[in-house]
Structure 1
């Protein structure tokens, strides 16, 4: 196992789980029940993630006349849900963490069923039908969500319930730790994709950059158009543009058995960490406003 693999397969999941525990210490049960009672923000976020993102990816593949392999690779990325990294970025940006976690969990489960449908269409449309049945592991996906996200957050919420003062004291250190983990993840992505970054940027650098900017921009605009507050708008923006690159690579290399199809994910990973970092810089130090609490 290489150093990059050790970082991505062992260190990062453990680190992200610790960060999720810290996020849990900033949350109470009413944060989630409030979202469920008024699900407009969830519906907007899921629409962006599950419908708008694949449409934009498909449109860019056609507009840039990508070769079939790169086009399908872009579609693989466009069908993937957000991941724990989106929750991390949302925390540093002072977005609605409960909304971010809820969108990640729901979209991850729904995507298990939508990805095979969309990718079967993409493989047929772009002329690269491999005849492979696309089946994603439902149980493994749920276990991953539980292990890295839901269980640590639940433990953090339990700690806050037992010791609110400790939870409040840990808020700033955990936000700092989130920033450090974000940087480590970015370095790991660079290391893991070092050999194909040049090719990725040449072949699909511009389309993947546009995919990231357009999805984030539309996420923010639709949230504000439907009069969501800034915290919710930040969460939807991040969830719209930060994809589960690990899942995309697994689909390309393991399920479809085509390493080249993972090239768009390598390019996109760089862009999403750059734009995510910009969002963290823009929103991370802003003061909390009472009007954003709802």
Structure 2
């Protein structure tokens, strides 16, 4: 039963999730980076390079078990979640920039996610010298992530009415899939769940706060406008935990590796909301300062 779940159902479920993401993207989303080249470049640099390095430092500092360490690195390598668009809208960010970053990062993650995860497995679980995400696994990630996104984009371009009708049901199905994946992981690791939460609760909280901080202040210190910085903050601070959980269980076959993303997936909504409130207050105070 487990083999059917991990080899058939979960990869298919991940493909559905990525197809749903594709339904919300257009070629124009990728072209929009030309409008905000500096903001987009800095956000992508933070997402792809800075966050994995920050996460690696945290993993070493906290001394996590190998499976949990790989799970944290997998989480750090995951692109921004679609919820970032909503949070950006609620707290005055540039949603158009969010959409563009999500689109570009979702494609880049097809290459960067296996690379970072590969290195993490080699570093933390490489006693035998074997790397879990070898070429066949990388190809598998490519097939079930990028191709469904491309199909979803093509469907939106060719069958606009169908895409509009299908987008909401697919999102609902994705949420159901995520819930099923989390429940399955909890059931499988029920005996160790309390220990896992105790092990990764603090590090995921710290990582969430640092992600939001880096996402806002790196662009701001580089002269990027407040609205674009808020968009960057939410994009970098809200990772796609659904993707991380599903990859951990379906491709790596490890419920333990999925634990950091599952815990983070709950915490990030509260930390992102707190960051949004603080940034709104900051914007209000700056608006009151006489020029």
Same fold (TM over 0.5): yes
Partner of 2:103: 105
Q: Which runs of 5+ in 1 are unaligned?
A: 1-8, 160-180
Q: Is the 8 A contact 1:189 1:269 kept in 2?
A: no
Partner of 2:243: 247
CA–CA distance in structure 2, aligned partners of residues 77 and 202 of structure 1: 18
Question: Cα 1:191–1:279, aligned 2, differ >3 Å: closer, same or farther?
Answer: farther
> How far is the alpha carbon of 1:76 from its aligned partner?
0.7
Matches within 5 A, 1:136-285: 136-138=140-142, 140-142=144-146, 143-144=148-149, 147=152, 151=156, 192=182, 195=186, 198-282=194-278
> How far is the alpha carbon of 1:68 from its aligned partner?
0.5
Moved over 2 A (4+): 31-35, 127-134, 136-148, 188-201, 276-287
> How far is the alpha carbon of 1:258 from its aligned partner?
0.8
Q: How many residues align?
A: 247
Q: Deviations over 1:139-164 (max 9, x none)?
A: 5434347749x949x979xx9xxxxx
CA–CA distance in structure 2, aligned partners of residues 91 and 279 of structure 1: 13
Q: Deviations over 1:233-277 (max 9, x none)?
A: 111001111111111012110111111100101111111111123
Partner of 2:168: none
Q: Is the 8 A contact 1:200 1:267 kept in 2?
A: no
Partner of 2:47: 49
**TM-score, normalising length from structure 2?**
0.70
Q: Is the 8 A contact 1:92 1:284 kept in 2?
A: no
Q: Which runs of 5+ in 2 are unaligned?
A: 1-12, 165-170
**TM-score, normalising length from structure 1?**
0.69
Q: Which one of 57, 82, 85 corresponds to residue 84 of structure 1?
A: 82
